[in-house]
């Protein structure tokens, strides 16, 4: 049985399928910082506040001095932010905050409503500040859309990685952000996800993996159960061979979940692939900007509630809150507990 359903070219916002709503890949070659966490470079020629230009290889996004996304609301889904390079400064209306990156993941359940900011501090002043991250939106089923918000950090030191060799001694690494991977007859299990997440029920088979293949490395994605959404995003390298197809970088493969898929890196560079998989929620989706509900009436209620309550208000000095000039990673939770990796 052929596994590949179709191939899809990648734009900035990648195609996603139920239970996933959205996936953005940010790959910014930021210059050295200016000592105030912004770029030590001219901002002329950029539409500040709405800069997605990738001028000189980077964007300011909605930031005016520090790149990133100042305070904005969400309701009805989860954000999973996987940072491969660089740092993100988080602050939210629950009172939680943190600086994470260089392999960390932040998982936030918006639930009934939360504001958060996600800034990209350029902490290094004597060298460049490359940033590479995925932001993935995972839907919540109707019975969990109005749960209490939840913020958690999955530190890189605790995130399981399978390190494998193929029959020709070529290296494969698989980082298991969510889900379970069978390695030599035993399950490599991800860190716990938030309690009300669709991913929290193992019967939903949610998986978020990052797959690294050395040049000429071969690996077979194992079959799972039928009727899952399963997509592979080839985001770095040159090309892979998948079944009888040569797949270049910046292409997504939508594949059958109950069929194995043989993959080989046939390019001259290492290849990196993101896997998103999960059982579809199969509910109607009504979305307007940062709110994802099941009906138009629920969307209208979300806007009304935000206007009335600001989802708890903003308790930080700035809408583009940052956390100092040192690259220290930490998480401050809403109950006042502080954690470092």
pLDDT by 10s per residue, the chain, length 341: 799 999 999 987 899 999 999 999 999 999 999 999 999 999 999 999 999 999 999 999 999 999 999 999 999 999 999 999 999 999 999 999 999 999 999 999 999 999 999 999 999 999 999 999 999 999 999 999 999 999 999 999 999 999 999 999 999 999 999 999 998 888 899 999 999 999 999 999 999 999 999 999 999 999 999 999 999 999 999 999 999 999 999 999 999 999 999 999 999 999 999 999 999 999 999 999 999 999 999 999 999 999 999 999 999 999 999 999 999 999 999 999 999 99
Q: What angle do CA 48, 309, 118 make, to 5 degrees?
A: 35
Give the per-residue pLDDT at 185: 82
Contacts by residues 179-184 (CB-CB < 8 Å, ≥ 24 positions apart)? 179/205, 179/206, 179/207, 179/208, 179/209, 179/277, 180/207, 181/207, 181/209, 182/222
What CA–CA distance (Å, rounded) separates 32 from 40? 6
Give the per-residue pLDDT at 184: 82
Q: Are 324 and 87 in contact (CB under 8 A)?
A: no
Give the per-residue pLDDT at 203: 97
Pairing of strands 229-236, 271-278: antiparallel
Q: Are 138 and 77 in contact (CB under 8 A)?
A: yes
51 DSSP 8-state letter: B
What CA–CA distance (Å, rounded) separates 216 from 263? 10
What CA–CA distance (Å, rounded) separates 129 from 109? 28
Give the per-residue pLDDT at 213: 98
CA proximity to 40, closest of 15, 66, 61 = 66
């Amino acid at each position: 049985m052929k596994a590949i359903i179709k191939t899809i070219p990648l734009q900035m916002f990648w195609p996603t399928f139920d239970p996933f709503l959205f996936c953005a890949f940010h790959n910014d070659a930021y210059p050295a910082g200016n000592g105030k966490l912004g770029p030590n470079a001219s901002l002329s020629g950029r539409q500040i506040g709405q800069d997605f230009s990738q001028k000189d290889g980077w964007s300011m996004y909605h930031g005016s001095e520090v790149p990133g996304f100042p305070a904005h609301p969400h309701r009805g889904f989860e954000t999973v932010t996987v940072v491969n390079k660089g740092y993100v400064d988080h602050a939210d209306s629950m009172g939680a905050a943190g600086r994470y990156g260089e392999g960390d993941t932040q998982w936030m359940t918006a639930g009934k409503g939360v504001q958060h900011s996600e800034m990209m501090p350029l902490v290094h002043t004597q060298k460049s500040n490359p940033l590479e991250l995925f932001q993935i939106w995972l839907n919540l089923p109707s019975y969990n859309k109005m749960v209490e918000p939840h913020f958690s950090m999955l530190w890189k030191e605790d995130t399981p990685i399978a390190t494998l060799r193929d029959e020709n001694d070529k290296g494969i690494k698989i980082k298991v952000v969510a889900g379970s991977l069978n390695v030599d007859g035993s399950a490599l299990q991800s860190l716990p996800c938030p309690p009300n997440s669709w991913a929290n029920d193992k019967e939903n088979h949610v998986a978020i993996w990052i797959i690294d293949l050395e040049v000429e490395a071969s690996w077979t994605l194992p079959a799972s159960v039928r009727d899952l959404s399963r997509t592979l995003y080839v985001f770095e390298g040159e090309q892979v061979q998948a079944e009888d197809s040569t797949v270049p970088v910046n292409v997504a493969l939508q594949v059958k979940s109950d069929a194995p898929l043989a993959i080989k890196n046939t390019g001259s560079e290492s290849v990196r692939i993101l896997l998103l998989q999960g059982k579809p929620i199969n509910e109607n989706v009504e979305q307007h900007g940062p709110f994802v509900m099941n009906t138009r009436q629920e969307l209208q209620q979300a806007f009304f509630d935000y206007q009335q309550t600001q989802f708890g208000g903003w308790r930080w000095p700035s809408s583009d809150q940052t956390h100092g000039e040192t690259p220290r990673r930490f998480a401050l939770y809403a109950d006042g507990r502080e954690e470092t990796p």
